[in-house]
Amino acid sequence: MWSPISRPCATDLARGAAGAHDRCEKRAGKRVVGEGELRQGKVKLDLPPLVENGNVVSLTVSVDSPMTDTDYVKAIHIFNERNPQPNVIGAYLGPRAGRASLSTRIRLADTQNVIAIAELSDGSFWSESVNVIVTLAACVENL
Amino acid sequence: MARALVNVPAKAKRGEIVEIKALIQHDMETGFRVGTSGNIIPRDIITDFVCKYNGQEIFRAELFPAISANPFFAFSTIATESGTLTFEWSGDKGFSATESADITVE
């Protein structure tokens, strides 16, 4: 179990501090991954490359896994870089899912990378990151 | 009571992978917006979503303010036996909602 990433991390991002993105991605990853290794691949993150309205961005994550009792996806985590808070969702599934896939709708406050991390039953972590261009931001707009 | 909409196939073959969709009416106020009085509007979101198949948990999600208003989820499960799927949402300010759907497995 992990907790939301601390505010200073998000503030670093807002200020555009050098290396903040890398650090934040690492820290976000670290909450989930711990001391393990985060590898690229297996995860497919489907997002439109250009988004007109950041308030509703449909997203699909699918993981290449047989979803058997011994080899399945335990969890799918989604993070972003430039929203006020880096967490988006943590979803927990199991072998009964049959297919390791999840669709939802998210908010994006700015043009940024979205990162999906999948935790497999063998304890390995896989990720994919997608860059999204947002023309109308969400989350912090005034009324 | 918030309106919720779930979509589960009424009939499925044993062992078939069925897609489940769940939608609920909720503003998902982020807690980062400023209202007309200049004050921050307090956070009011759904924080947890659980789907159970005959009482056994098959899908769970932790939600954050980056989830859009009216949270929508689509996921899948294997149709193992006839029964009921229950959906539970809970969140800030004591928010709680449940919905259920029946499935017949042949």
ipTM value for the complex: 0.89
Domains of chain A: 7-134 (2.60.40.2470)
Q: Please name the residues between 36 and 55 in chain B that touch chain A, using a CB distance below 8 Å.
A: 36, 41, 53
Please give the average per-residue pLDDT across B55-76, as a whole number: 94
Question: Which residues have a Cβ under 8 Å from the Cβ of B72 and sit 6 or more positions away?
Answer: A103, A104, A105, B21, B22, B23
Q: 3-class SS at A125?
A: strand
Contacts of A95 (CB under 8 A, 6+ apart): A67, A68, A69, A72
C-alpha to C-alpha distances, A90 to A18, A115, B84, B104, nearest whole angstrom? 27, 12, 25, 30
Share of residues in chain A with pLDDT > 90 (%): 40
Residue A7 has what pLDDT? 43
CB contact under 8 A, B75 and A107: no
A101 touches chain B (CB under 8 A): yes
Least confident of A11-25, B7-21, B33-47: A11-25
Q: What are phi and psi of A112, to 5 degrees?
A: -165, 175
Half-sphere exposure of B2 (CA within 13 A, CB side): 25
pLDDT digits (tens, 9 = 90+) for A2-40: 444 444 444 444 344 444 455 555 566 666 777 777 888
CATH of domain B4-105: 2.60.40.10
Q: A98, B17: Cβ pair inside 8 Å?
A: yes
Average pLDDT, chain B: 92
DSSP 3-state assignment of B63?
strand
Question: How confident is the model at residue A16, as a pLDDT?
Answer: 43
B86-102 confidence digits (pLDDT tens):
999 999 999 999 999 99
Where along chain B do its domains lie?
4-105
The H or E element containing residue A50 is strand A50-51
């690229």: which residue's tokens?
A40
B30 pLDDT more than 80: yes
User: Which chain B residues are closer than 8 Å to A107 by Cβ?
Assistant: 30, 65-68
Distance of CA B23 to the CA centre of its chain: 6
pLDDT < 70 regions, chain A: 1-31, 139-143
CB contact under 8 A, B74 and A103: yes
Instruction: Report the predicted TM-score, pTM, of the whole model to 2 decimal places.
Output: 0.83
Return all residues near B51 (Cβ < 8 A) that are at least 6 apart: B20, B22, B57, B58, B59, B60, B75, B77, B85, B86, B87, B88
